């Protein structure tokens, strides 16, 4: 199986990012929303590819660095490409970029019932540092708590146990 490849998204790839977001979330962000987000100071986007000779854009991460903290704004992998280490590689890419920008920690906010994302962040070594009651990004439905998780950037998350 081919290894994931993570690259910086080019400024003209907002539509690709929006398509990937729509493939991963019930409430998609359109290209304009992605462009507005990337216009914020410290914001950046990564694309994750799988597929060897004919790589496919299969995942993305949107993030930003402010002062000494990085923040993952959104990360997703298309359903057909999950459990191949692509999200882990994307978070490692975000961590590397945030570290280069001067951050010493990465914050990740996640719906507490998003078991895949919580498992991913824990696997990378993140610790829960706060809980936001009533937070919800789900269409309809009852509000859910969010967990704020923090990953110290002392090592590469791609080298976390079990990788």
Ligand X SMILES: CC(C)(COP(=O)(O)OP(=O)(O)OC[C@H]1O[C@@H](n2cnc3c(N)ncnc32)[C@H](O)[C@@H]1OP(=O)(O)O)[C@@H](O)C(=O)NCCC(=O)NCCS
Which residues of the chain form contacts with ligand X (CB under 6 A)? Answer: 24-25, 74-77, 82-88, 110, 114-117, 119-120, 123, 162
Q: Which is nearer to ligand X, 2 or 102 (CB)?
A: 2
Q: Which two tokens stand for residue 104?
A: 């010493």
Give me the least distance between CB of 137 and ligand X, in Å please. 8
Q: What H or E segment, with its residue span, contains residue 118?
A: helix 115-123
Q: Which is nearer to ligand X, 12 or 19 (CB)?
A: 19
Under 8 Å between Cβ of 26 and 138:
yes
Under 8 Å between Cβ of 45 and 64:
no
In the three-class reduction of DSSP (H, G, I as helix; E, B as strand; rest coil), residue 86 is classed as helix
Give me the least distance between CB of 112 and ligand X, in Å please. 11
66-76 in b/e form (b: 16+ CB < 10 A) is beebbbbbbbb
Q: Which is nearer to ligand X, 102 or 152 (CB)?
A: 152
Give me the least distance between CB of 119 and ligand X, in Å please. 3
Give me the least distance between CB of 89 and ligand X, in Å please. 7
Under 8 Å between Cβ of 84 and 74:
no
Q: Which is nearer to ligand X, 47 or 86 (CB)?
A: 86
Under 8 Å between Cβ of 104 and 138:
no
Q: Which is nearer to ligand X, 1 or 12 (CB)?
A: 1
Give me the least distance between CB of 61 and ligand X, in Å please. 9
């Amino acid at each position: 199986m081919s290894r994931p490849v993570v690259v910086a998204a080019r400024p003209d790839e907002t539509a690709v990012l929006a398509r990937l977001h729509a493939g991963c979330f019930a409430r998609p962000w359109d290209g304009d929303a992605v462009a507005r987000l990337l216009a914020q100071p410290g914001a950046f986007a990564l694309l994750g590819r799988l597929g060897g000779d004919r790589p496919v854009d299969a995942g993305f991460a949107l993030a930003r660095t402010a002062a000494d903290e990085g923040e993952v704004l959104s990360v997703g992998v298309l359903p057909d490409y999950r459990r191949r280490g692509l999200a882990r590689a994307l978070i490692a890419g975000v961590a590397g970029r945030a570290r280069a920008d001067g951050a010493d920690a990465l914050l990740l906010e996640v719906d507490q019932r998003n078991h895949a994302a919580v498992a991913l962040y824990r696997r990378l070594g993140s610790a829960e540092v706060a809980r936001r009651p009533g937070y919800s990004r789900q269409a309809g439905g009852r509000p859910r708590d969010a967990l704020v998780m923090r990953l110290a950037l002392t090592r590469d998350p791609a080298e976390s146990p079990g990788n």
